[in-house]
Structure 1
Amino acid sequence: MQDYRTLKLLDKFEKVFRSFGIDYKIMRKILQVKLTMDGRRVPTIFSQNAKKRDKETNNQYIKSLWIYVLFGLFMIPFMLMGENYLFQMSLFYGIFTFFIMTSMISDFSSVLLDIRDRNILFPKPVNKRTISTAKMIHVLIYLSFLTIALAGIPLIVGLFRHGFLFFITTVVSIILIDLFIVGLTALIYLFILRFFDGEKLKDIINYVQIVLSLGIMVGYQLLVRSFQFIDLSISLEPQWWQVFIFPMWYGSIMEVIMNGNTQLFHLLFTVFGILMPLLSIWIYVKLNPAFEQNLQKLSYHGKAKEKQPGRFSQLLLSIICRSQEEKAFFRFASSMMKNERDFKLKAYPSLGFSVVIPFILIMNTFNTDFDHLSTGKSYLTIYFSLIIIPTIMVLLKFSGKYKGAWIYRSAPIKHLKPMFSGTIKAFIFKLYLPVYLLLSVIFLVLFGVRILPDLLMVFLNACTYAVMCFMILKKSIPFSESFDQYNQNSNGAIIFGLMLFVALFAGLHYAIRLFSYGIYLYLVVAILCMGTLWKLAFNISWDKIRG
């Protein structure tokens, strides 16, 4: 096996590890095996675009860091600002936290929740503290690569712009943020593992990862809105809830050190910024034996209880789907979207963003003028809920159980129309419609019943848009491809192009609203267009699809 440079650097701290009762030679060998295995793993953000033979000799994670370098370039302006360090560095650390936390959730959660160490190494004469430390160092090695890629260039710019003291303070703050994110993530999972088990545990972990993704986005908005912009000057009115926006802790550290601002608010946040990361790591180390013990619950593969569909569900299904074949594929797709964890982890955050984004746009447009809000056309921001449709339409062809797709070929399926139409209807009514109904109820409260025809219009456009996406995207049998192929063939560019249709729908809607009864004419035209597309789009033969 290759002797990695990171391990040679780690050798310099051998005495430190031994002082904590860790068998360094064993830990080093475990890390060497883990790093070798990582050469075959590709991070979520980079997908699996590499060729198979390249995966066996190169670490795809290291090769993917260029995209984080690109993201880091967008943080340079915060380094070039003046000397309002609390504002500019809070935003810098907020963006940095966003990328680190999302990467932690998507790429490193599987490492923290890995039970292979327990199954393979625990029966062997290996110190358990050595095993848990190897796991933590494994995460920190890759987190350090990610941190350098993301913040390296901005740090160099900051060094030339503000000096060495600024540079070293930022480096220490970034290290503390990394430690806090690792410790906080591990403690959240520890809490979940403590109180849940079995299949329910796996589902809850999935939902927590989704909630964390949404929390990062909402938290960043709260961070920006903590500052007031008056005549090109930036001011901050301290509020109690700002203590939970931890990027501001490190903005305060910079404010104290660079500007000598010793107000109680800044000193308190500085203490939080230093103590909380160390405290979280210390608690994790103390509770690590319980964490490793509770991880065994993840090995339980019991079957969750399935609820029988009620009469209302059966009646609704009969209205939505016309044929028995379409009903069968509707039920199958609904079950896959409900139980496929990889699908939920990739699709559900998008659903959450579709709820959050319209309100963020409204908040950024109107602060306290609710009277003007209720009479305006800001309800058209609900069209942002449509941007999730192309993303999930692409995801519908992927599955963690893709090897079972042979059943499609062996089953007596003569026509493919029920397969595709049933699957898309399942997505619309099981995933999109609940989110849209939630948004509609809130929008009705904000804007009144006058927008009811508009809400119906948007849903009709969403159904039409789903079919348009299906017609443009490459045809594949639902749930027949591995998630390893996700994002291949420039899906990102195609999805972005499809999102432009959302702007077209919103623009037409806005233009129609300039006429008194235009919305009702638009409804009639939309129903006819949707019916025509749904009738023609799914007439596809086997030789025109992949899978």
Structure 2
Amino acid sequence: MNNFLVLRLLDRLEGGFRRIGVDYRVMRSILQMKLTMDGRRTPTVLSGSQRKDEKKEGSPFRVQWMYVLMGVLMIMFILPQDHFMLQMSLIFSITMFMITTTLISDFSSVMLDLRDKNILFSKPVNRITLNMAKSIHILVYLLTLTLSLTGPTLIVSLFRHGILFFLLYAGEIILMDCFILVITALLYLLIMKFFDGEKLKDIINYVQILLTIGITVGYQLVSRLFNLVELSGAFKPAWWQYFISPVWFAAPFEMLFAGGSGQSYVLLTVLALLVPLLLIAAYVKLMPLFEQSVLKLAEQGTGGKENGRLADFLSRRICRSREEGMFFRFSWSMMKKERDFKLKVYPSLGFSIVFPFIFILNPVFTGNAAMLKDSRGYLFIYFSAMMLQTILLMLRYSASYKGAWIYRVIPLPGTGPIYRGMLKAALFRLLLPLFLVEAVLFIWLFGIHIIPQLAAALLSLLIYAVLCFRILPRALPFSEKFEAVKQKDFTASSFILLFILAGLAGVHYIFTLFPAGVYVYLLILVLANALMWKRTFV
């Protein structure tokens, strides 16, 4: 097996690992095996454009062009030589937003992985060693991902601001990744302390949504720490700013390179160094408890049987045939039970919940909330459908994919009922409840007069769902293994679909310019839906 660079770097820290109770030789062997196996598969998150029929080895460290592109765009924040508090707060907020959401959506299954226990728990491997190997494994992924995102700004900072700035920036990136990893792990530990079995797995999925919402909203708050209206970049200390971590990491740059002084900068700098180190120490101490709690995920739970009456009721009302109703109920049940599906999809629900409101935050923050009632900001509800791409892409994958042979033996005239039932189940289980919740909030913000506009938006999103189905790669529901997920299937189509979604909102906007235009648009949408659903699922 390869003697990876990561392992050679860890060899220099062998003494430190031994002092905290880690069997370093065993941990190194586990890590070497994990990294070797990673090189023989194409991982879900960091996969490239490899096709199924290609025999090339996948690499988890393949640079992602999207992250590199984001890093190139962030160069504009690193170039100025003043207002370091503003510049570095924005850089760290964007980086933490991207890295944390990636960790939540794609590495949670690794953090909560139970496959090691069947092999390693029967061997003389202590729990702290196994947990440390797992944590370093995830940290290696995060650092690789972070370097793809921050690499361009790191290189520019070396030539623009000097070696000291570069070393401080690189050190804080490592602290930031440790902070993100430990906070996520400790939060999962807190949840696992009070729940077990299947209930615990559901709670973790819901926490992923809340984390995504919190991170997204927090990211929006960072820019409001400064007086951007006057372009002064003036930092105004306030008690609540001490709870926003990107500001911690920005404070040392302001002190060392912009002459910032005062108690606020000192305290924020201390937090940037002390909090990650204390969290790491706490995590090391709690590793045995974390491993013991993770074992609860293997429990089946004592909850009652699944209540399928809602699915039965809906299938009788909205499905055109018995076959379609059968696949509606099947898809509904699989979306509830499939753990990997929820791990991949639920974080995107968080984005869809919060994104429509992000665009209307400015009037609320500036005290001009009354302006909302006379605006067309309700059209931002279209962004609640951003999750549809992820949902429809992931509906083809399942841990029980080998059962897909059933599609071959069922006497069906075609695949139309299968796809129609699948799509209706996804819309009624995931999109419609989310849309209704946001519609209530939008009515509260904009007034009751927008109800026809929201009805038009919902009909437009039904058309958008069909367009997503037609553009994204098509496969029978839950018929492929999750390891076959190809990142290119999403990235290549996502931009097209985002433009289509924005286009639908634009068409809606045009109809709002005419008296009673929304009612004409409603009639057009009803006819268009009937035609598209009939032509698509033949």
Question: Offset of 1:316 from its aligned partner?
Answer: 4.4
Q: Which residue of 1 aligns with 2:342?
A: 344
Residues 90, 248 of structure 1: 8 Å contact kept = yes
Write the letter of the residue equivalent to 1:30: I
1:328 Cα deviation from its structure 2 partner: 1.4
Q: Distance in 2 between matches of 1:476 and 1:111?
A: 26
State the shift of 1:218 in Å.
1.6
**Cα displacement (A) at 1:48:** 6.0
Which residues of structure 2 form unaligned runs of 5+? none
State the partner residue of 1:372. 371
Q: Which position in structure 1 is the counterpart of 2:138?
A: 139
Which of the numbers 330, 333, 351 marks the counterpart of 2:331?
Answer: 333
**Percent of counterpart pairs with the same letter?**
49
C-alpha displacement at 1:499, in angstroms?
2.7
Partner of 2:40: 40
Larger mean CA deviation between 481-490 and 497-506 belongs to 481-490
The structure-2 alpha-carbon separation of the partners of 1:181 and 1:474, relative to structure 1 and needing over 3 Å to count, comes to: closer
Question: What is the letter of the counterpart of residue 144 of structure 1?
Answer: L
How far did 1:83 drift? 1.3
Question: Once the 2 structures are TM-superposed, how far is the Cα of residue 361 of structure 1 from its aligned partner?
Answer: 0.5
Partner of 1:422: 421
Change (3 A) 1:537 1:146: closer
Q: Shift of the alpha carbon at 1:417? A: 2.8
Corresponding position of 2:170: 171
The answer to whether the 8 Å contact 2:157/2:165 transfers is yes
1:226 has 2:229 as partner: no
Distance in 1 separating the partners of 2:432 and 2:498: 19
Q: 1:59 to 1:15 in 2, by over 3 A?
A: farther
After superposing on structure 2, the runs of 4+ consecutive aligned residues of structure 1 that deviate more than 6 Å are 52-56
Instruction: Name the CA distance, whole Å, in 2 between partners of 1:96 and 1:395.
Output: 26
- Once the two structures are TM-superposed, the CA of residue 401 in structure 1 deviates from its matched residue by 2.0
Q: Are 1:126 and 2:114 counterparts?
A: no
Deviation at 1:169, TM superposition (A): 1.9
Displacement of 1:304 in angstroms is: 4.9
Question: Which of 308, 321, 324 is the aligned partner of 2:322?
Answer: 324
Deviation string 1:446-473 (CA, Å, 9 cap, x unpaired) is 1111111111111111122222333444
Alignment deviations for residues 316-345 of structure 1 (CA, whole Å, 9 cap, x no partner): 443212322222111111111222222222
Residue aligning to 2:207: 208
Aligned counterpart, 2:23: 23
Contact preservation (8 Å) 2:45, 2:487: no
Report the Cα offset of residue 254 of structure 1. 1.6
User: Who is 1:452 aligned against?
Assistant: 451
In 2, the alpha carbon distance for the partners of 1:47 and 1:276 equals 33
AA paired with 1:353? F
Kept after mapping to 2: 8 A contact 1:48/1:486: no
**TM-score normalised over the length of structure 1:** 0.91
Q: 1:92 to 1:264 in 2, by over 3 A?
A: same
Deviation for aligned residue 1:478: 1.9
Q: What amino acid is aligned across from residue 36 of structure 2 in structure 1? A: T
Deviations 1:91-123 (A, max 9, x none): 111122123223333444333323344443333
Residue 362 of structure 1 is aligned with which of 355, 360, 363?
360
Closer/same/farther in 2, CA of residues 392 and 17 from structure 1, 3 Å limit = closer
Q: Which moved more, 1:37-46 or 1:172-181?
A: 37-46
Q: CA deviation at 1:365?
A: 5.6
User: Take 1:40 and 1:269, find their aligned partners in 2: how far apart are those partners?
Assistant: 43
> What is the letter of the counterpart of residue 214 of structure 2?
G
Offset, 1:309: 4.3
Q: Is the 8 A contact 2:401 2:481 kept in 1?
A: yes
Retained in 1: the 8 A contact 2:242–2:268? yes
1:385 aligns with 2:384: yes
Pairwise mapping of residues 415-494 of structure 1 onto structure 2 (< 5 A)? Answer: 415-487=414-486, 490-494=489-493
Counterparts of 2:416 and 2:226, CA distance in 1: 54
Cα distance in structure 1, aligned partners of 2:328 and 2:202: 22
How many Å apart are 1:158 and its aligned residue?
1.1
CA distance in 1, matches of 2:31, 2:136: 8
Aligned counterparts, 1:259-298, within 5 A: 259-298=258-297
Q: For residues 146 and 465 of structure 1, what CA distance do their matches in structure 2 show?
A: 32
- Aligned match of 1:519: 518
**1:40 and 1:55 in contact (8 A); partners too:** no
Distance in structure 1 (CA, Å) of the matches to 2:55 and 2:66: 18
Worse-matched range after superposition: 41-50 or 400-409: 41-50
SS for the counterpart of 1:45 is: coil
What is the rounded CA distance, in whole Å, between the counterparts of 1:66 and 1:469 in structure 2? 24
5+ residue gaps, structure 1, are 540-547
**Is contact 2:396-2:475 (8 Å) kept?**
yes
Map 1:487-502 onto structure 2 (within 5 A): 487=486, 490-502=489-501
Q: Tell me how far apart the structure 2 counterparts of residues 357 and 84 of structure 1 sit (CA, whole Å).
A: 29
Counterpart CA distance in 1 for 2:513 and 2:527 is 22
Query: How many residues of Structure 1 are paired with residues of Structure 2 in the alignment?
Result: 537
- Quick check: 525-534 or 365-374, which moved more? 365-374
Give the residue type in structure 2 aligned to 1:363: L
Aligned-partner SS, 2:233? strand
Residue 202 of structure 1: how far off its partner (Å)? 1.8
Which residue in 2 is equivalent to 1:2?
2
Q: Structure 1 residues 469 and 303, CA, compared in 2 at 3 Å: closer, same or farther?
A: farther
Asked if 1 retains the 8 angstrom alpha-carbon contact of 2:77 and 2:91, the reply is yes
Letter of the 1:126 counterpart? V
Distance 1:368 1:187, change over 3 A: same
